[in-house]
Copies of this chain bind each other. A is one copy, B any other.
Amino acid sequence: MEHLHQMAMKCKQAARELALYDTETKNRALLAVAQALEDNMASILSANARDIAYARDNGLREAMIDRLALTEERVRSMAQGARQVAALEDPIGQVIESFSRPNGLHIRKVRVPLGVVGVIYEARPNVTADSAVLCFKAGNAAFLRGGKEAFRSNTELAQIMRRALEEQGLNPDCVCLLDDTSRQTAAAMMGLRGLIDVLIPRGGAGLIRSVVENAKVPVIETGAGNCHVYVDKAADLTMAAEILFNAKCSRPSVCNAAESLLVHQDIASEFLPMAKTRLDECQVEWRGCPRTIAILPGIAPATVEDYAVEYNDYILSCKVVNCIEDAVRHIQRYTTGHSESIVTQDPQAAQLFADQVDAAAVYINASTRFTDGAEFGMGAEIGISTQKMHARGPMGLKELTSWKYIVQGQGQTR
């Protein structure tokens, strides 16, 4: 743990220096990092091949190996990501507000970095590059702890980025990767008060819960998405079927995919067969309430667990509701606060849904799949916050910052 503490101290010192780099310096460094990732393609792929061989020997599931695997294309997309981030506007130094007080004090609220951003993640090595690059542009040093499966890939990626920073005359400790992937070290990292300013877990529900429950430093909770599509009695049913199909089937493994369908009773007998036919194209498995089953005989019954779970798979739970208020109540009970959609042509129903559903993103006549930094025009994201504190929804550069009040006086006392 002594080693962990020393590394965190170095990272904090790097964050102090990085906070003072100007935009041009940061952008030049990001372009150098992009180039270095491409120039070192062979060594990255070779380190990754060793991770994969080791994972196979240890019987890792193929889904996990897919997350772990890098290809030329995936490495190029990391490099491209760094170039895109270089092109984004630098939030640091922006004057958020500026005002004078009656006593003559002039107060500026200025955007500053958070400091050291800790990221705890699992098997995806691209998180190493993506997180480091976003943190860097927002003036934050990244303190990274990846999963043990990707240890060789992550080490190679971190070394390449650190070397690129050093060659630009910058402090390589702006990117620190923990070289110990034990649970104890992760736990110790979550306790580094005064050294880590914010901790962001990126991964499955288990990882996120563990970080939220154990961390003694501030955490931004990301990820879990039990998203609903509610088809109102005033819906355009063809549009509703397309939105549902897209929300459920375009990429079921991600957090903004829909898990549950709510249907107003007035249109259920017309809509459900339409929806079933459309979702059959992807062999979606349905689990329904008794009234759903009465319309779609043969599907399995839905339990309370079905309504609560994030399947991340081609499975859909379904419930017929009496009215929009029932739909809202169901969502209030089961939502993880990520993304919720209503399909309706009735502006009053849309307004009620937008007002009463408490989620990072509420959609009216659109798919839940749009909750994403790029789709929101942020250029890139470090995750999607499902908590209400600090940042909610997709987190881009601005969400990786804090502020400072700079108060100019002429000797004022109180």
Q: Which A residues lie at the B interface, using CB under 8 A?
A: 16, 19-20, 99, 101, 105, 107, 112, 114-115, 193, 197-198, 212-213, 216, 218-221, 236, 239, 242-243, 245-247, 250, 332, 350, 354-356, 358-367, 369-371, 375-377, 387-390, 392-393, 402-414
Contacts and interface: CB of A to CB of B under 8 A. Distances in A.
A105 B405 contact: no
17 contacts: A16-B356, A112-B358, A114-B389, A193-B212, A197-B389, A198-B388, A218-B387, A218-B389, A239-B411, A242-B413, A362-B406, A365-B410, A365-B412, A366-B408, A366-B412, A369-B414, A371-B405
A408 B365 contact: yes
Contact of A107 (B115, B355, B376): B376
Contact of A362 (B377, B390, B405): B405
Contact of A16 (B16, B332, B364, B413): B332
A361 to B, nearest CB: 4
A360 B361 CA distance: 30
B246 A408 contact: no
Q: Report the copy number of this chain in the oligomer.
A: 2
B236 A366 contact: no
B218 A413 contact: no
A147 to B, nearest CB: 23
A361 B405 contact: yes
B361 A404 contact: yes
A16 B355 CA distance: 10
B407 A370 contact: yes
B414 A403 contact: no
Given A375-B101, A388-B115, A388-B198, A360 B404 contact: yes
A294 B288 CA distance: 83
B404 A359 contact: yes
Contact of A197 (B388, B403, B407, B411): B388
A373 to B, nearest CB: 12
Contacts of A406: 354, 361-362, 364
B356 A389 contact: no
Given A388-B198, A390-B390, A413-B250, A405 B366 contact: no
Nearest to A214: B216
A389 B105 contact: no
Given A362-B407, A406-B362, A407-B364, A218 B216 contact: no
A344 B356 CA distance: 53
Of the candidates A99, A242, A355, A407, the one having the most CB atoms from chain B within 10 angstroms of its own CB is A407
A364 B407 CA distance: 6
A271 to B, nearest CB: 15
A405 B389 contact: no
> Which 9 residue pairs across A and B have the least CB separation, nearest first?
A366-B409, A246-B413, A388-B402, A390-B390, A239-B411, A369-B414, A218-B389, A361-B405, A366-B412
Contacts of A221: 218
Nearest to A372: B414
